[in-house]
Amino acid sequence: MGVRRYSRRLLRIAGSSQDGSLLRRFCVALSLLAGVCLLLPGCTPREPITIGFIGGTSGRVADLGIAGRDATQLAVEQRNQAGGIAGRAVKLLIRDDEQNPVVAERALRELIDQGVVAVVGPMTSAMAMTMVPIANQARVLLISPTVSTEALTGKDDYFFRVGSSNLANATQVAQYHLRQAAGRQTPRRLVAVYDLNNRPYAETWLDGFRATYVRGGGEIVKSIGFESGSTTSFRQLAQALLATAADGVLIVANSVDTALLCQQIRKSDRDIPIIAAEWAASERLLELGGKAVDGVVVGQNFDRGSTAPRYQAFRLAYLARFQREPGFGGVLAYDATNVLLDALAGQQRGQSVKEAVLAIGTFAGTQAPIVFDAYGDVQRNVFITVVRDGRLLVVE
């Protein structure tokens, strides 16, 4: 029976009763009607499904966090426009971890207390090392777009990621440079510099690169650690790097520090080759580095020149919504969010979100399928890119 027909019947009952007050009977009828309405589909909106996002949207790594936040927001908006998940809207709660472990821990606990079913993020390995133990205890899944530390590889935990690990990424970058060196018949002697404020990323990336590079005949003559921050003297750091007997520089740092360091290096040596880790390869590197970053080579887990329809549709939607390129942070965050939303849509009764992701296993990515192993790790292609005339171009 429809709600309107039922309400008319109740009103007739209330109006025809000869016992007691007509008003009292009418109120009873309305109460009954309200109770019935709550039981009928479509009378009241269903509770939204709440998910979270955590990333550094302020400070020196803000370019990565902002791209991740915006892409996550776009994915949620698109899903809600398409009807949500089984008719339920998706609610997104956003937190800035400020690239600070104390803030990251507080942010995750707040989201858990507010009932999120899972979190997209964090965006850096240092924050992940703080957050994963909390997520494990609460059994709330973290799906990171860009965390790649080896310390979280092959673990049966509540941390999944949609990008490759440091070992996979750094190995392929090292192999590329070994091939380049072989073509010139000259071994490459590199001096490395890395960010101590994101040790779980920087150290394991450098270790992975070094192992492959040395095995292939290359050499890392020296490694210099520095603490990223406003008081860092990049002039002194550049002088220390160039004082070594190296014929190339390897930088494992964020986009801001990489750009500033390149500027100082180029003041003393305009020609020395510079290699950077994928963390640096955002549009911020190009904006801040200018001519100083021309020729910098970096590997990434996505192809900026891809013509894949899903990628092009996402890129155009992102450009229209935010008036800038999504970069690798945006692409991987969009993939991570859609993995989560697809898993929620396919979640069976009694399944956790983690179990739902593993049960599905393979998800459509913007450029290629995302295939999770039993530990929530994936392998993606590494595309070697070089900065030319203010653009990051794929060369291999």
Backbone angles phi, psi at 84, to 5 degrees: 75, -150
d(CA 218, CA 362): 37
Cis? peptide before 273, omega within 30° of 0: no
> Domain map of the chain by residue range?
3-39, 49-164+306-380, 167-300
49-164+306-380 and 167-300, same CATH topology: yes
Q: What three-state secondary structure class fits 354?
A: helix
Cα 199 off chain centre by? 18
- pLDDT in the model for residue 3: 42
Residue 186 is predicted with a pLDDT of: 59
Two tokens, residue 329: 């942070």
Do 310 and 302 meet the contact criterion of CB atoms below 8 Å apart? no
How wide is the angle at C-alpha 59 spanned by C-alphas 56 and 60, nearest 5°? 95
DSSP string, 222-244: EEEEE--STT--HHHHHHHHHTS
Task: Give, in order, the Cα–Cα distances in Å from 117 to each of 32, 49, 93, 158, 326.
Answer: 34, 7, 11, 12, 26
18 burial type by CB count under 10 A (0-12 exposed, 13-18 middle, 19+ buried): exposed
Contact 124, 146 (CB under 8 A): yes
pLDDT of 33: 42
- Structure confidence at residue 297 (pLDDT): 95
Q: DSSP character for 279?
A: G
The string of DSSP codes covering 27-72 is HHHHHHHHHHHHHSTTSSPPPPEEEEEEE--SSTTHHHHHHHHHHH
pLDDT tens digit at each of 396 positions of the chain: 444 444 444 445 444 444 445 444 544 444 444 444 444 444 556 899 999 999 999 998 899 999 999 999 999 999 999 999 999 999 999 999 999 999 999 999 999 999 999 999 999 999 999 999 999 999 999 999 999 999 999 999 999 999 999 999 999 999 999 998 887 755 689 999 999 999 999 999 999 999 999 999 999 999 999 999 878 899 999 999 999 989 999 999 999 999 999 999 999 999 999 999 999 999 899 999 999 999 999 999 989 899 999 999 999 999 999 999 999 999 999 999 999 999 999 999 999 999 999 999 999 999 999 999 999 999 999 999 999 999 999 998
User: Residue 40: its pLDDT value, please?
Assistant: 47
Structure tokens at 346: 């396919």
Provide CATH code, domain 167-300: 3.40.50.2300
User: Is residue 203 packed enough to be buried (19+ CB in 10 Å), middle (13-18) or exposed (0-12)?
Assistant: buried
Hey, what amino acid is at 10? L
Residue 116 token pair: 């999120």
CATH number assigned to the domain covering 49-164+306-380: 3.40.50.2300
Residue 374 CB coordination number (10 Å) = 9
